[in-house]
Amino acid sequence: MKKFTEQLKKRAESVKLRGFERNNLRERLVSYMEYHPLPQDLKDKQLMPAVVPTRTSFVQVAMFSRYMGALTVLFLVMVPFVAEKAVPGDVLYPVKVRFNEEIRGSLTFSPYEKVEWETSRLERRIAEARLLANEGKLTPEVEESVAEAVKQHSDAAQREIAVIRAGDSEQAVIAEITLASALEVQSEVLAGHTARDIGATMFGRSVVGLSGAVDAARKTVESAQTSEKPSYAKLSAKVELETTKAQELFNSVSQNATAEEVASIERRLSDINNKVAKAINLHNTKPEDIEALPINSDAETASSSEVAVEEPGEPSAAASTTPEALPKSEEVIAEAIEVAVILTPEEVVINLLREALMDTQKLISFMTDIDVRQNVSIEELVPMEKDSKIEEKKTDSQTSKQAGENTTLKMNIDLDTDI
């Protein structure tokens, strides 16, 4: 077999193209190829080995861009989220102020919501400043910028109030009350902070400048308040809303708060409820019966005026009213009676509701804002109604018995001396 194959092959190999035949054949073929060249797209395709890296790089670009998309989304979600905790001087602080807050502001539709948002922005600025001051990082520049921001936000809020006034003057008054009570709370908080700072003298800087700015804003707002009175219906509706909110907050807070805190908040809530109840009674009383009531209503007005006087006098008096306050109160009552004589019963009702609303709002910020709780005692923020204290004396002592708290007892004794 091997022999056969070898022999056959050897003979077969003698059959071959001669050199010139082969060359001729090759030339024919090359010229045929020249007359029938590859189409251009195939010529490009034949560069495929060279194109492959380009193709991979295209794939890489596609993958990269996909990852970039995911990264961008992550970035857009994460940065604002992280920025929320930024304070002045942080890299992300501008994101918080100029992006997050502007976006949130643009999501508010009604002017009233805008006022609320400007108010809470103002509160945020002050909270940031307090945070920095606590860490001793509040530089004069930052404090100045915060003071400027406070002014801007309060101006913006007032502008919005003006917008509301153009459409609904009553709503504007309610918005004003909200803004005023917020400013009052912040002013109290800063006052508390300043007092503590001076006492501690730990930090070179205090928030005195800022406190001045807030006070200025507060005065502007108060002076801007018109003599216009909101209607009973609107105001009572708002009071109803806010008291409900406060009650709900109290229910959730009461589980964690100390018995003392619970008791004091509870008393203030019932105080507010009393005011509201009185206002409703007064409102429902027929005009001919009013004569029987002036003394009562005078007392209401008096006590509320007294509160305003008392605040700057004893900023740190926590759980008790000092005996020295007594003569002062009497004077105030006397003055208030004079003022109250001019007031119509309807005005008294509105004033009562206005106070109730402000107290409720202050109470809400006391319950919700940890800074407020740390810097201001509830007594400073929402002083007790003297009348209601007398009225609630029994309930108070009941509560104190139940709670077994010495402080509450002491408070009752103080109240007794007060009267």
Partner 1 sequence: MSLLQKGEDNQGGSQEERFLAAFDEYSSALFRHASLRISDREKAIDLVHDTFTKVWGYVRQGHEIKLFRPFLYKVLNNLIIDEYRKKRESSLDALLELEGVDEGSFEELSESTVESLAATLDGKRAFEMLETLPDEYREVIILRFVDELGPKEISKLIEESENIVSVRLHRGLKLLRKSIEQEERSREEQRLLKQRK
Provide the minimum distance between the beta carbon of 54 and partner 1 in the complex, in angstroms, as a whole number: 17
Using CB atoms within 10 Å of the CB of residue 86, give its burial: 0 to 12 exposed, 13 to 18 middle, 19+ buried.
middle
Count Cβ atoms below 10 Å from residue 274 Cβ, excluding itself: 18
22 binds partner 1 (CB under 8 A): yes
Residues 336-375 that bind partner 1 (CB under 8 A): none
Instruction: Choose among 370, 374, 355, 362: nearest CA to 184.
Output: 362
Chosen residue from 8, 162, 166, 390 binding partner 1 by CB under 8 A: 8
Residue 57 Cβ vs partner 1, minimum distance, rounded to whole Å = 21
> Is 4 a residue that touches partner 1 (CB under 8 A)?
yes
Task: Say whether residue 33 binds partner 1 (CB under 8 A).
Answer: yes
Minimum CB distance to partner 1, residue 15 (Å)? 5
Q: Does 9 bind partner 1 (CB under 8 A)?
A: yes
φ/ψ region of 229 (left if φ > 0, alpha if ψ in -120 to 50, else beta) reads beta
CB of 64 to partner 1, least distance (A): 30
Distances 154 to 99, 108, 214 between C-alpha atoms, Å = 19, 17, 9
**What's the length of the chain?**
419
Distance CA 408, CA 419 (A): 17
Task: Quote the least distance from Cβ 1 to partner 1, whole Å.
Answer: 4
Cα(144)–Cα(356) distance, integer angstroms: 34
Question: For residues 13 and 288, which CB has a smaller minimum distance to partner 1 in the complex?
Answer: 13
Contact 405, 260 (CB under 8 A): yes
Provide the 8-state DSSP code for 319: S
Residue 31 interacting with partner 1 (CB under 8 A): no
Q: How far is the CB of 41 from partner 1 (least distance, A)?
A: 8
Q: Is 38 a residue that touches partner 1 (CB under 8 A)?
A: yes
- Name the one range near partner 1 by CB under 8 A: 33-41, 160-168, 250-258, 379-387: 33-41
Total residues binding partner 1 (CB under 8 A): 34
Closer of 17 and 68 to partner 1 (Cβ): 17
Residue pair 306/329 in contact by the 8 Å Cβ criterion: yes
CA distance 355 to 361: 10
Task: Say if residues 356 and 278 touch (Cβ distance below 8 Å).
Answer: no
CA distance 384 to 329: 14
Out of 44, 46, 70, 233, point to the residue binding partner 1 (CB under 8 A). Answer: 46
Piece of 26-34, 130-138, 263-271, 333-341 that binds partner 1 (CB under 8 A)? 26-34
When the beta carbons of 9 and 286 are compared against partner 1, the nearer one is: 9
Our finding on whether 20 is near partner 1 (CB under 8 A) is no
Binding status of residue 32 toward partner 1 by CB under 8 A: yes
Q: Of 21, 330, 338, 416, which one interacts with partner 1 (CB under 8 A)?
A: 21
* CA-wise closest residue to 343 among 298, 282, 386, 381: 298
One residue of 26, 85, 98, 401 binding partner 1 per CB under 8 A: 26
From the CB of 6, what's the least distance to partner 1, in Å? 6
Residue 334: in which H helix or E strand, if any? helix 325-342
Which range of residues in 16-24, 228-236, 320-328, 401-409 is near partner 1 by CB under 8 A? 16-24
By the rule CB under 8 A, 10 interacts with partner 1: yes
Asked if 7 interacts with partner 1 (CB under 8 A), we say yes
Q: Which is nearer to partner 1, 7 or 60 (CB)?
A: 7
Q: At what angle do helices 393-403 and 406-418 cross, to 10 degrees?
A: 160
Based on its alpha-carbon atoms, the radius of gyration of the chain, rounded to whole angstroms, reads: 40
Which amino acid would we find at residue 178?
Answer: T
Asked if 1 touches partner 1 (CB under 8 A), the answer is yes
Stretch 48-87 residues interacting with partner 1 (CB under 8 A): 49
29 binds partner 1 (CB under 8 A): yes
- Residue closer to partner 1, measured from CB, 19 or 199: 19
For tokens 């459409």, name the residue. 167
**Half-sphere exposure of 82 toward its Cβ, with a 13 Å CA cutoff?**
9
Backbone angles phi, psi at 326, to 5 degrees: -60, -55
**Using CB under 8 A as the criterion, which residues of the chain lie in contact with partner 1 when the complex forms?**
1-13, 15-17, 21-22, 25-26, 28-30, 32-33, 36-39, 42-43, 45-46, 49
